[in-house]
Amino acid sequence: MTEKRPILKLKYSITEKIIFILTVIVLILSFAFIIIYWKSMPSIIPTHFNFYGKPDGWGSKKSLLILPIINLIIFILLAVLSKFPHIYNYPVNITEKNANYQYTNARRLMIVMNLEIVCLFFYISLTEVYSGLGKINGPGTLFLPIFLLIIFGTTAYFTIKMYRNKPVIK
């Protein structure tokens, strides 16, 4: 049985607005970076890197456009989704009393994750361009563990905040 959750119109905080603006800036930079380096890119570039950060897949330079486009689609989806926190799954019951806090916390999680994902895709695009130009040899071995730590750390942080404001059931 589904619970009836309150639907609230939440205002965005200054912090959320700043994070959103930063996300848009990084997204624009990801497109601008590829446009700037497009003419100097060789026709074949590294498009995939193994666990150790070394190139193990190659493709045409047109493949550079895939990541920013996917990044834009994910950005739009997460931005739209952040406007509807009442539809998320929560580890706690949502009540009239805790809805404002839980929705704000969950929306902030979505906004922060959006920034992290946009930065991830931008970094991968940078890596592909610089690898294609012969300036670096991949993202390095610490890339994946650091990225996973950031994503799971963010998720854990906001989930802990959800539990700390868990409603008392009488």
Q: What is the pLDDT of residues 43-73, one digit of tens each?
A: 999 888 887 778 888 999 999 999 999 999 9
* Alpha-carbon gap, residue 4 to 160, rounded angstroms: 24
Give per-residue pLDDT as tens, 2-34. 568 888 889 999 999 999 999 999 999 999 999
Is the model more confident about 137 or about 100?
100
The share of the chain scoring above pLDDT 90, in percent, equals 66
pLDDT mean across residues, the chain: 90
pLDDT number for residue 1 = 37
Residue 166 and residue 164: Cα distance in Å, rounded?
A: 6
Within 8 A by CB and 6+ apart from 110, the residues are 78, 81, 82, 85
The answer to whether residues 41 and 137 touch, using CB atoms and an 8 Å cutoff, is: no
Are 25 and 71 within 8 A, CB to CB?
no
In the predicted model, is pLDDT for residue 145 greater than 60?
yes
pLDDT(144) > 70: yes
Helices (H) and strands (E) in the chain, counts: 4, 2
> What pLDDT does residue 79 have?
95
pLDDT digits (tens, 9 = 90+) for 27-45: 999 999 999 999 999 999 9
Q: Does residue 147 surpass a pLDDT of 50?
A: yes
